[in-house]
Amino acid sequence: MVAKRTVSEVGEFGLIGRFTEGRVQPVSTLLGPGDDAAVVAAPDGRVAASTDVLVAGVHFRLDWSTPEQVGRKAAAVNLADVAAMGAVPTALLVGLGCPPDLPADVAEQVAAGLWAEASRVGAGVVGGDVVSAPALVVSVTVLGDLRGRAPVTRAGASAGEVLALAGRTGWAAAGLALLAAGRETPPGPVAAQRVPEPPYRAGPAAAEAGATAMIDISDGLLADLGHIAEASGVGLDVRSSALPVPPELAEAAAELGADAVSWLLTGGEDHALAATFPADAALPDGWRVIGRATPGAAVTVDGEPYAGPAGWTHFT
Amino acid sequence: MVAKRTVSEVGEFGLIGRFTEGRVQPVSTLLGPGDDAAVVAAPDGRVAASTDVLVAGVHFRLDWSTPEQVGRKAAAVNLADVAAMGAVPTALLVGLGCPPDLPADVAEQVAAGLWAEASRVGAGVVGGDVVSAPALVVSVTVLGDLRGRAPVTRAGASAGEVLALAGRTGWAAAGLALLAAGRETPPGPVAAQRVPEPPYRAGPAAAEAGATAMIDISDGLLADLGHIAEASGVGLDVRSSALPVPPELAEAAAELGADAVSWLLTGGEDHALAATFPADAALPDGWRVIGRATPGAAVTVDGEPYAGPAGWTHFT
C-alpha cells in the first residue's frame, strides 16, 4: 500500500496544477487562473460580490462529509448569496488553507466539489490561493452579473406585500441533528446537511418578476426574515400552514424526539430564498406564498411572536 | 482593570457593526456591506479579481506585528495583485477567521488596517464574513478596474525588450531575518516586513505606457521573473549593477552575517512590480531598468544562473 501524498509533499504549485488542469472555463471568464489576477466579464458595468468562509470543525466535519461535499457546500453558500440579490453567479475565487499533513487528494476533491457546484450555474473557479493553515479553511468569493436589473436588497419590502419562499428550510438542521446522534437516516436531511440545494435560478427569476426585497436563508427562516423586517421597516408574518412538515423531517423528529416545526422555522444552512412581492405579482416557478408583510416591525408566526431560539449566530 | 471583551462576547453581528461603522465608501461602491452581496462598479464591463490568504503563524505573527499592520499587509498583498494586471483596485472583500477568545479589539484593528490600506488607493472594504477559526485567518479578495485597457499578463514579453522594476526587493526578507533574530533595527526593513509598500500606481502606469508583461514580486524577484519567462517563452537577465544594496540592507546583513544581495534577488513579500517594455518605451515614473528579455528560457543574473535558493513556496 502506497501512502497518500500530503499537500506538503505535492507543494503549492503542484496543488494549483491539480486544481486547474482540464477545467473548462465559461465564456464569462476572460482570463482564468495562472496570472496575478483573473478577469471576469461584468457586462452591465457592475459586479455583485460576496464572501463566505467555511472552517473544519465549525461549518463541516471531514468525518461527516466527503471533501467533495465540503467543496460543493462552500460553493453553494456563496452562490446563494448572489442569487439572493437577483444576480447570476459568474465566478468563484477560493482561498484554501490546508494543514501541511492533509492528503493532497482531499484538497483536490474539495476543489472538484467547488467546480461541480459552480458548473451547475455556469460559473467558473477563476482564481485563488493555497496556503498552510492549522485547519482546513475554505474561503470563497463569488461574483455575479445583475443582467441590467437593480439588485434586490433587504430594504424594499412594504406592508401589504406577499412573503414568499423558494427552496426548503429545516432539512440541513435535521440532518445536523441526525449526524450528531450518529444516524445517517432518513437520508434526505443528512444529504441536505452535507450539500445544500439552494434554488439558484429562483433569485434572478424573482428579480425579473418584481421582488421588492430578498434574502438568502442561511441562519434560519425567522432570523433571516428579521433582517428584511429591520432593513425594510416592516413586520413579516409567516403562516404556519404554508410550511407543512415534510415526511422525512417528521420521521427524523420522531426518531430524535425533536420538534420538526422548530427546524422549519429556525434551521439554517439550506439556503432557501425568501422574498417579498407586490400583492398582485405573479410568482415565478419555484416560489410559494408563506405569509405577508405587515405594518408592524416584528417577525411573527400566525400573528404571534415565536417562542424559541430564532437561529444561528457565530460566537454566541 | 477591565478585561477586554473577546470576539465571542461581542458576537458576529457586533463585530460586523464595529468593522463597518463610520466607514465612507468610494463612489465605485454601489452597494456596501449589510446585504447578501455588495455591488461594485465595473465601468468597462470587466472586473479583475484576485484572492490571497494570510494565516497567523504562517504569514504574520501577532507578537511581531500589530493587528492594524496585519490588516494593512493583508490588503497590500491583494491590492498589488490587481495593480500587476494594470488595474486600479476598487474593492476588498474579507473573510476573517477568529479564535473565539481573540480580543474583539484585535479583530477591529485588523479591519482598520484593511480600511487604511484600501483607502490609500481609493478602494473600499465592501463585504465579508466573520467566522470562528482555530487561528486568525485573513482571506482577502480584491476587485479592480482595468480602465478599458487589456490586462497585462505574464505572457507578453519578447526577447530584446527591457526588464524594469517598480518598488523595492529584499527589504521584507531582511526584516524577517531581523525579527527572527530578536532585533528591531535597522527600522526600515523591519517596517517593510510588517507592512509592504507596493507601488500600486506603477501598475496602471506601466499598462498605459505599453508594458508587455507584468508580475507582482511576492515570492522573490528571480522566482517571480521565472513565471514571466515561462509564460512568455523568453529568458530574463537581471543586471546586478542595477540592484545596488541599500545602506539599511547592508547594515542588516552586517549585523546578521547575512547576504544582502541574496535578499535583493530572492526575498519575497515586498510586492514590487516587475515588467517588460518595448526597448524604445519611455518608462513611467517609478520604474527603472534592471535587465532585459533574451532569446533564452532561463532567469539569469549578469548572464549566469544564480546559485542559491530562488524564493519562497508554500509547503516545501
- Give A43→chain B minimum CA distance, Å: 5
Nearest alpha-carbon partner for B79 in B197, B254, B232: B197
- Give B255→chain A minimum CA distance, Å: 31
Cell of A156: 424594499
| Beta carbons of A53 and B133 less than 8 Å apart | yes
Q: What is the pLDDT of residues A9-42, one digit of tens each?
A: 998 888 888 899 889 999 999 999 999 999 999 9
CB B33 within 8 A of CB B22: no
A182 and A266 housed in the same domain: yes
B85 and B172 housed in the same domain: no
User: Mutation test of the interface with chain A: which of B141, B145, B312, choosing the one with the most A Cβ atoms within 10 A?
Assistant: B141
Q: How confident is the model at residue B258 (pLDDT cuts 50, 70, 90)?
A: very high
Of A31, A133, A231, which is closest to B137 when you measure between CB atoms?
Answer: A133
d(CA A78, CA A82): 7
Q: How confident is the model at residue B299 (pLDDT cuts 50, 70, 90)?
A: very high
Which residues does chain B have within 8 Å of residue A100's beta carbon, measured at their own beta carbons? 315
B209 and B280 housed in the same domain: yes
CB B57 within 8 A of CB B135: yes
pLDDT of residue A2: 58
A248 and A166 housed in the same domain: yes
pLDDT of residue A44: 94
Cell of A125: 473557479
CB A240 within 8 A of CB A300: no
In a domain, residue A53? The reply is yes
A131 and A198 housed in the same domain: no
pLDDT of residue B12: 85
DSSP-assigned letter for residue A56: B
Residue B19 scores a pLDDT above 60: yes
pLDDT of residue A315: 55
User: Mutation test of the interface with chain B: which of A28, A47, A58, A224, choosing the one with the most B Cβ atoms within 10 A?
Assistant: A47
In a domain, residue B274? The reply is yes
Instruction: Output the furthest CA–CA distance in chain B (Å, rounded).
Output: 68
Give the burial class of B34: count Cβ atoms within 10 A of its Cβ; 0-12 exposed, 13-18 middle, 19 or more buried: middle
Residue that terminates a domain, selected from A93, A113, A145: A145
Instruction: Calculate ∠ Cα B154-A52-B102, nearest 5°.
Output: 105
CATH of the domain at B244: 3.90.650.10
Instruction: Calculate ∠ Cα B27-B32-B38, nearest 5°.
Output: 110
A207 and A177 housed in the same domain: yes
For A127, the 3-state DSSP assignment is strand
Which residues does chain B have within 8 Å of residue A316's beta carbon, measured at their own beta carbons? 8, 11-12
Paired residues of B235 in beta bridges = B294
- How many other CB atoms sit within 10 Å of the CB of residue B245? 16
In a domain, residue B1? The reply is no
A234 and A139 housed in the same domain: no
- Give A240→chain B minimum CA distance, Å: 26
Which residues does chain A have within 8 Å of residue B269's beta carbon, measured at their own beta carbons? none
| Beta carbons of A95 and B58 less than 8 Å apart | no
Of B12, B31, B51, which is closest to A129 when you measure between CB atoms?
Answer: B51
Residue with cell 528579455: B293
Task: Please report, in angstroms and rounded to a whole number, the separation of the first and last CA atoms in chain A.
Answer: 45
Q: How many CB pairs under 8 A join A and B?
A: 253
In a domain, residue B218? The reply is yes
Q: Give the chain B residue nearest A94 (alpha carbons).
A: B51
| Beta carbons of B135 and A135 less than 8 Å apart | yes
Cell of B215: 508580475
DSSP-assigned letter for residue B59: T
DSSP-assigned letter for residue A170: S
Q: How confident is the model at residue B13 (pLDDT cuts 50, 70, 90)?
A: confident
- Give A119→chain B minimum CA distance, Å: 19
A179 and A286 housed in the same domain: yes
pLDDT of residue B315: 55
Which residues does chain B have within 8 Å of residue A142's beta carbon, measured at their own beta carbons? 37
Spacing of C-alpha B138 from chain mean position: 14
d(CA B34, CA A231): 9
In a domain, residue A1? The reply is no
Is the dihedral angle over the CA atoms B262, B265, B268, B272 positive or is it negative?
A: positive
Of A128, A137, A316, which is closest to B133 when you measure between CB atoms?
Answer: A137
A133 and A192 housed in the same domain: no
- Give A76→chain B minimum CA distance, Å: 13
Query: Is B44 among the annotated ligand-binding positions?
Result: no
CB B87 within 8 A of CB B151: yes
pLDDT of residue A307: 82
B184 and B289 housed in the same domain: yes
CB B20 within 8 A of CB B33: yes
CB B72 within 8 A of CB B59: no
Q: Residue B291 is inside which H or E element, if any?
A: strand B287-294
pLDDT of residue B4: 84
Task: Calculate the alpha carbon distances from B181 to A78, A266, B59, B174 in Å.
Answer: 43, 53, 17, 11
A234 and A280 housed in the same domain: yes
Q: What residues make up the domain containing A84?
A: 10-145
Question: In one letter, which amino acid is B122?
Answer: G
Sheet containing A29-31, strands listed edge to edge, beginning at the edge strand earlier in sequence: A29-31, A38-41, B46-55, B137-145, B88-98, B124-132
pLDDT of residue B263: 96
A18 and A112 housed in the same domain: yes
Q: What is the pLDDT of residues A95-153, one digit of tens each?
A: 999 999 999 999 999 999 999 999 999 999 999 999 999 999 999 999 999 999 999 99
- How many other CB atoms sit within 10 Å of the CB of residue A13? 14
pLDDT of residue A4: 84
pLDDT of residue B316: 43
d(CA B310, CA B316): 13
In a domain, residue A307? The reply is no
Mean pLDDT for A278-304 is 96
Q: Report the share of chain B in percent with pLDDT over 70.
A: 97
| Beta carbons of B31 and A96 less than 8 Å apart | no
CB A165 within 8 A of CB A216: no
| Beta carbons of B216 and A314 less than 8 Å apart | no
Domain count, chain A: 2
Is the dihedral angle over the CA atoms B156, B157, B160, B162 positive or is it negative?
A: positive
| Beta carbons of A48 and B41 less than 8 Å apart | no
Residue that terminates a domain, selected from B145, B177, B210: B145
For B284, the 3-state DSSP assignment is coil
- Give B152→chain A minimum CA distance, Å: 9
Give the burial class of A3: count Cβ atoms within 10 A of its Cβ; 0-12 exposed, 13-18 middle, 19 or more buried: exposed
H helix runs in chain A, sequence order: 7-10, 12-20, 67-83, 104-120, 171-180, 187-194, 202-208, 221-232, 247-256, 260-266
For B173, the 3-state DSSP assignment is helix
Nearest alpha-carbon partner for A270 in A188, A173, A141: A173
In a domain, residue B94? The reply is yes
Spacing of C-alpha A154 from chain mean position: 16
| Beta carbons of A55 and B127 less than 8 Å apart | no
Q: How confident is the model at residue B307 (pLDDT cuts 50, 70, 90)?
A: confident
pLDDT of residue A314: 52
Query: Is A259 among the annotated ligand-binding positions?
Result: no
Residue that terminates a domain, selected from B118, B145, B172: B145
Instruction: Calculate ∠ Cα A108-A111-A116, nearest 5°.
Output: 125
Q: Report the share of chain A in percent with pLDDT over 70.
A: 97
d(CA B92, CA B107): 16
Query: Is B292 among the annotated ligand-binding positions?
Result: no
CATH of the domain at B129: 3.30.1330.10
Reported ipTM: the value is 0.95
In a domain, residue B308? The reply is no
Query: Is A218 among the annotated ligand-binding positions?
Result: yes
Query: Is B132 among the annotated ligand-binding positions?
Result: no
